[in-house]
Amino acid sequence: MSTEFEFTEEMTALRTMVRGYCDERSPEPAVRAAMESASGYDLDYWKGLGSEIGVLGLAVPEADGGDGAGLVYQAVVLEELGAALACGPVLGTLCLAIPALAALADSQAKKDYLPALISGDLVATVAMPTAGGEFAPGRVTVTAAPAADGWTVTGTVDHVPDGVAAGLILVPASTAEGVALFAVDGSAPGVTRADQFTLDRTRRQATVGFDGAAARLLSAPGEAADVCARTVRTAAALLAASQVGGAQRMLDLTVAHVTSRLQFGQPVGAFQAVKHRCANMLIEVEQTRSAAYHAAWVLEEGGDDPDLAVSLAKAVASDSYASVSRAAVQLHGGLGFTWEGTPQLYLKRATTDLLTLGTGSEHTERIARLVLDERIPAANLPA
């Protein structure tokens, strides 16, 4: 095990390939068209990520049909998708469903679902409650009951990412023995999906209802809690990498704008206050990149507390992305907040990211709990 990862030539080539694909297939006009469509994304674009350039299964072991490249490689892809403001089931499928299935002990379930997800032919999501950046089994609102040919699930879950588009829904549900994890066909009788209007239309959310819907048991109580916890941890690390990409894009666009925009006969960027603001944006982006990739590396290689690394990454990334986006809006002047302007799209994404899988303040409190409450005996704490 290495002491820390470094970006390799292969990672750089991967970044270049994904960036080129997004520039060609998902420029801003395509993003705006997709976010206004019924599904919220371009199906061909999403399938191309899987079958054309093959980047949806980088973190999945080869034995399960993936590439086995590791989570850091997957984080590189997420950074570029975040920079492109990609419309698609990135959160539901790539960050949540694929890691959840990969974490299962059920090898048959992996064979049945992962290949179609990795190729982009199947869209999935996880309807899972979280609190403070962690899986919250006490907030599970779906119940499961045994049936003649398996299980049925009943209940409602709000704010399910990509819930309308998902052909496969993974959902924790309460049983007599505890919370278990189930798979439900998104088009099965008894399943309803209603689009929820949210601030960021590039990332759709839905209310998903189950009324005696047929379900397949994926993970029994005991294992299910661990699978869900690992899923949330991985998703938060990948989301932090996506936030790095969005913040970097806002920095790049802002520097280009203040360099070309003239005021009083000289570029706006020539003013000292603007230079300082851009320098602060750069610092925030770089510290976010360090924290995000460290979290991905820790989950892949070990060597540090994974919960602490992920919470640090999510706290830093959420706050920094929001801060950089606000600065971009302000430095773009009137264009920054108009519908035609680009910064407002990223500010909306940054705002929703801030509330997804735990806010910055919630993860900061978790860091304090992990470092102080769980590591320092109460007798050693100052009065």
Q: How far apart are CA 380 and CA 382, in angstroms?
A: 7
Task: Tell me if 156 sits within 8 A of 209, measured CB to CB.
Answer: yes
Q: Which of 121, 140, 142 is nearest to 130 (CA)?
A: 140
Strand partners, 161: 205
Backbone angles phi, psi at 373, to 5 degrees: -65, -35
Owner of token pair 């938060």: 236
Q: What is the rounded CA–CA span in Å between residue 291 and residue 299?
A: 13
Would you state the pLDDT for residue 372? 82
Among candidates 261, 252, 236, 271, which has minimal Cα distance to 327? 252
Put simply, whether the predicted model's pTM sits higher than 0.85 gets the answer yes
| Mean pLDDT per 10-residue interval, the chain, length 383 residues | 75 97 96 93 96 97 95 98 96 98 96 97 97 94 95 97 96 97 97 95 96 98 95 98 98 94 75 92 97 96 90 97 97 88 96 95 92 61 45
Place of tokens 């020539």: 270
Contact 141, 195 (CB under 8 A): no
What are the residue boundaries of the structural domains of the chain, listed by start? 9-122, 126-221, 226-380
What Cα–Cα distance (Å) separates residue 106 from each residue in 102, 224, 225, 228? 9, 11, 15, 14
Six-digit token string for 61? 């072991």
For the domain spanning 9-122, the CATH number is 1.10.540.10
Tokens 């850091």: give the residue. Answer: 72
Contact 34, 40 (CB under 8 A): yes
- 3-class SS of residue 107: helix
DSSP sequence for 137-188: GGG--EEEEEETTEEEEEEEEEEEETTTT-SEEEEEEEETTEEEEEEEETTS
**In terms of residues, how long is the chain?**
383
pLDDT of residue 3: 59
Residues contacting residue 361 through CB under 8 Å, at least 6 positions apart? 315
Q: Could you tell me which residues are beta bridge partners of residue 147?
A: 150
Q: Which residue has the tokens 């002491």?
A: 3
pLDDT at 4: 64
Please tell me the predicted confidence (pLDDT) of residue 381: 43
- Which DSSP category does 119 fall into? H
What value does the CA radius of gyration of the chain take, rounded to a whole number of Å? 21
Cβ neighbours, 10 Å, residue 200: 20
Identify the CATH class of 226-380.
Answer: mainly alpha
Rounded-to-integer distance, Cα 78 and Cα 67, Å: 16
Determine the Cα–Cα distance for residues 138 and 111; give it in Å rounded to an integer: 30
- Which CA distances in Å does 334 have to 109, 293, 341? 52, 34, 9
What CATH number has the domain spanning 126-221?
2.40.110.10
Is residue 289 within 8 A of residue 244, CB to CB? The reply is yes
Tally of CB atoms within 10 A around 101: 27
Tokens standing for 25?
């297939």
